[in-house]
Amino acid sequence: MPAPPAPRPPPATVDATLDLLTAQDYVADRRLATAVFLALKLGRPLFLEGEAGVGKTEIAKVLAAGLARPLVRLQCYEGLDTAAAVYEWNYPRQMIEIRLAEAAGGVAREALAHDIFTRAFLLKRPLLQAIDPDDGAPPVLLIDELDRTDEPFEAYLLEVLSDFQVSIPELGVVRAQVPPVVVITSNRTREIHDAIKRRCLYHWVDYPDALSELAIVRRKCPRAPERLAREVVAFTQRLRSMDLFKAPGVAETLDWAEALIALDRVALDPQTVADTIGVLLKYQDDVGALTPDVAAKIVADVQAEGIRL
Amino acid sequence: MIGPGPRGGAMLLPRGRLAENVLYFVRVLRAVGLPVGPAKVIDAIAAVEAVGVAHRTDFREALAAVLVSRHEHLVLFEQAFDLFWRNPKHLEKLVAAQLPRVLGRTGEEAPPLDLPARLAQAMLPPKAPEARADDEDEVDLDAAFTFSPREILQQKDFATMTAEELAQVKAMLARLTLPLPERPQRRTRAARRGARVDLRATMRAMTGAAGAVAPLAYRARTRRPPPLVVLCDISGSMDRYARMLLHFLHAITNDRHRVHTLVFGTRLTNITRHLRHRDVDVALERVAAAVDDWAGGTRIGACMAEFNRRWSRRLLGQNAAVLLISDGLDADAGVGLAFEVERLAKSCARLIWLNPLLRYPGFEARPAGIRAILPYVDEFLPVHNVASLTDISAALEVRRPRNARRTTSDAWLPAA
């Protein structure tokens, strides 16, 4: 097995951070690069909040690739507990161990209890993996959609995030030799407790402006004709200024561009928009608000004016 | 570049003007209401040193990353940043003029501190046990008679109460709790009997009793009440009830976690944070300051639309129940209301409508606003006296399948 590449040192300046993100095909604005740079430099978790589909999760992936570190991902959900997030004991193995000890006879209880609660019987879940990686390389830990979990888990996370350590009653405290790079994302379906935020660097990931979004489409969908790319971006940008229940994110823009490429379109027309709008808008009310007239008007507008700056 | 330096307060100042200015800027942020703790100052200076001051945006984002922790504070931060880092001298004057207390510029003879009246009265020699202006006519309750007046009060309409009765009701409401039905959660706890075997505890028991038969330990699901979102109408027609209801809201908001409270008249205001203060008078004072459409018109449709758009995804997760407190009298005559209420009903586990008009025996749902809301509510209850408020909990206990909704509300619709 080839050895994993040695982790690269974190970038030394904001410009270097920007380069690192760009090299991984992530078009970041300078503010985001600054937040990332600070998180790496000060060793603080980076707390990213923003609407769905603006590229929050992607930042962690890009960082892992750019720094040549493994990515450990913890997807949050309601009722997430330590057994799923931190560690669990390997019960079948423990049971076999007990049986074996009994078969051999002369079991000393204390010794047995000591034997089956050791690292060999420990199953590491994402948080423990990030703190105590098997190969020693500090990973990038992505705690995704923290707003989906509940308050007890947030409270647990406090210990992990402030000291980068995990207490296991049977084993003691496991501390990170080198703290992992932590990225936390939230879609803001509820407010995260201030105590968590206080330990992090906060960054609100906004929808990109038209030029950045165009750059993203060019990078991520290189097959898109230039005219199509411009029109797609201009169209989504205008949709976002409408009063919608859920405005399309960058992920939707890219999906839409891909969909239009698959349909061999080189430019927008009202009929195509109507046929493919489900890629952009995911609520029936929003689809209903974009009547053929409105859609046709936006298309005409987009083709006359192009990208609005 | 200066290293992190020794821990301690003394490290802050010797770093020259920049550190001083950051410190000063943090004070400005605090003055405009951002919660910035002292530890943040050290972080902010470290962050600024890390990025340097060559780029204005870097500098600004470095400060923002450390000092801002909520999206809604970002605008305040940016305004403060622009103002402060453009010309600190200018701001200094501005702030000194506006916020003498924060910066300690003007000393003792500064504009009078806005001491709460009750705090001021607490400093005075004891005059009377009651110290609030609005409660001056409060009567001492004779303990011997507490029971029966309460019974009467419970049935009495808020709108017809005298000031002293209102005061007693307030006290009653302060003790009110709202026992919402508990729902099973995904999380489990150790239990005598449960659906799952607790392998960890069993294993530990086995090591203690090697060779013998080990008892199985179990885990059962925890139960807790679902989140509750209260939408309370504070328009003119609800005015008399609204004050009582706010006391009620304060009681249930502080009763347990996961209660969010919003009030609406012509616009929607989230007052959860204001109500969180334990002291009901302080809490209501804050609410009064935060809400600026007291006793005005009602635009239920527009407010519901705003709720659906801005708040529903953030507040209505995890089987939340919604308490809508309103008389349903809408200035827009129910335009667009049905659509928004339908959406609201579809996004929550239960929609319960509390309506003070229900106290009238011959109540019929004639007004357009009421007719728009009624088809979508799961429960329709009166809310004009204390007894009805306590009835709410009973209504919430009833487990009714979702498709059986409208059974309570259909009765109120006028015959076609």
Residue A196 lies in a domain: yes
Which pLDDT score is estimated for B158?
Answer: 57
Does the pLDDT value for residue B11 go beyond 90? Answer: no
Question: What's the per-residue H, E or C state across chain A?
Answer: CCCCCCCCCCCCCHHHHHHHHHHCCCCCCHHHHHHHHHHHHHCCCEEEECCCCCCHHHHHHHHHHHCCCCEEEEECCCCCCHHHHCEEECHHHHHHHHHHHHHHCCCCHHHHHHHHCCHHHEEECHHHHHHCCCCCCCCEEEEECHHHCCHHHHHHHHHHHHHCEEEECCCEEEECCCCCEEEEEECCCCCCCHHHHHCCEEEECCCCCHHHHHHHHHHHCCCCCHHHHHHHHHHHHHHHHCCCCCCCCHHHHHHHHHHHHHCCCCCCCHHHHHHHHHHHCCCHHHHHHCCHHHHHHHHHHHHHHCCCC
Tokens of B401: 């399948």
Q: pLDDT for A69-122, tens place per residue?
A: 999 999 998 888 888 899 999 988 988 888 888 787 766 666 777 778 888 899
Question: Is the four-CA dihedral B5, B11, B15, B18 of positive or negative sign?
Answer: positive
- Is the pTM higher than 0.95? no
- pLDDT confidence band for B96 (50 / 70 / 90): low
Of the candidates A151, A188, A187, the residue with the CA atom closest to the CA atom of residue B187: A151
Q: Among A103, A119, A135, where does a domain finish?
A: A119
**DSSP three-state, residue B380:** strand
Question: Facing residues of B231 across strands?
Answer: B262, B324
Domain termination residue (choose one: A98, A119, A140): A119
A70 plus A145 within the same structural domain = yes
Q: Are B58 and A14 a contacting pair at CB < 8 A? A: yes
Q: What is the DSSP letter of B114?
A: -
Q: Which residues of B touch A109 (CB under 8 A)?
A: 207-208, 210
Q: Which two tokens stand for residue A299?
A: 């298309």
A241 and A227 share one domain: yes
Residues B26/B67, Cβ–Cβ less than 8 Å? yes
- What's CA A241's distance to the chain center, in Å? 26
Residue A147: domain span:
14-86+125-204
Domain match, A223 and A297 both = yes
CA B384 to chain centre: 22
Quick one: pLDDT at residue B162?
64
Q: Is residue A5 part of a domain?
A: no
Q: Which residues contact A203 (CB under 8 A, 6 or more apart)?
A: A31, A32, A35, A46, A47, A48, A49, B61, B64, B65
Q: Calculate Rg over the CA atoms of chain B.
A: 27
Domain membership flag for residue A156: yes
CA distance B76 to B69: 12
- Cβ separation of B57 and A30 shorter than 8 Å? yes
Shared domain for A51 and A74, answered yes or no, is yes
Q: Do A34 and B51 touch (CB under 8 A)?
A: yes
Q: Say whether both A176 and A199 belong to one domain.
A: yes
Nearest-Cα residue of chain B relative to residue A102: B211
Same domain, A60 and A135: yes
pLDDT at A230 over 90: yes
CATH number of the domain within which A67 lies: 3.40.50.300
Same-domain status, A105 and A227: no
Whether pLDDT at A13 is above 70: yes
> What pLDDT score was predicted for residue A83?
87
Closest residue on chain A to B66 (Cα): A201
Q: Are residues A47 and A135 in the same domain?
A: yes
Instruction: Say which of B69, B203, B317 has its CB closest to residue A189.
Output: B317
Q: Tens of pLDDT along B328-374? A: 777 777 677 888 888 888 888 888 888 877 766 666 666 777 878 88
Residue A70 lies in a domain: yes
Is position A62 within any domain?
yes
DSSP summary character for residue B331: T
A190 and A139 belong to one structural domain: yes
Long-range contacts of A171-175 (CB under 8 A, 24+ apart): A171/A117, A171/A118, A171/A119, A171/A122, A174/A128, A174/A131, A174/A132, A175/A131
Q: What's the whole-number mean pLDDT along residues A47-65?
A: 92
The span from the CA of A155 to the CA of B257, in Å, is 14
Is the pLDDT at B409 greater than 80? The verdict is no
Domain closes at, from A104, A119, A134: A119
List alpha helices for B68-110, DSSP H: 73-86, 88-98, 100-103
pLDDT at A245: 82
Band of residue A309 on the pLDDT scale cut at 50, 70, 90: low
Report the mean per-residue pLDDT for chain B: 70
| Residue A21 and residue A130 in one domain | yes
In chain A, the number of structural domains is 3
Of A69, A58, A5, A1, the C-alpha closest to A27 is A58
* ipTM of the prediction: 0.71
Residue of A198, A240, A244, A284 to mutate when probing chain B, most B C-beta within 10 A: A198
Find the mean pLDDT for residues B25-43.
86
Nearest to A42 among B46, B58, B203 (CB): B46
Q: Between the ranges A200-209, A300-309, B193-202, B352-361, where is the mean pLDDT highest?
A: A200-209
For residue B280, which phi and psi values (nearest 5 degrees)?
-65, -35
A253's tokens = 């823009």
User: Which residue in the block uniquely carries the two structure tokens 């028991």?
Assistant: B205
Q: Is A4 contained in some domain? A: no
The set of residues, in sequence order, having a beta carbon less than 8 Å from that of B271 and lying 6+ positions away, is: B261, B262, B263, B286, B287, B290, B291
pLDDT at A229 over 80: yes
Size of interface A-B (CB pairs under 8 A): 112
- Asked whether residue A8 is domain-assigned, the answer is no
Q: Which of A81, A109, A189 sits opposite B208 (nearest CB)?
A: A109
Q: What does the block give as tokens for A203?
A: 């960054």
Q: What gap in Å lies between CA B207 and CA A280, rounded to an integer?
A: 58
**Which residues on chain A are in Cβ contact (under 8 Å) with B211?**
102, 107
Beta strands B218-224; B183-191: pairing state: antiparallel
Tell me whether residue A2 is in a domain: no
Judge if A129 and A223 occupy the same domain.
no
The mean pLDDT of B77-84, rounded to a whole number, is 84
Note whether A154 and A36 are same-domain residues: yes
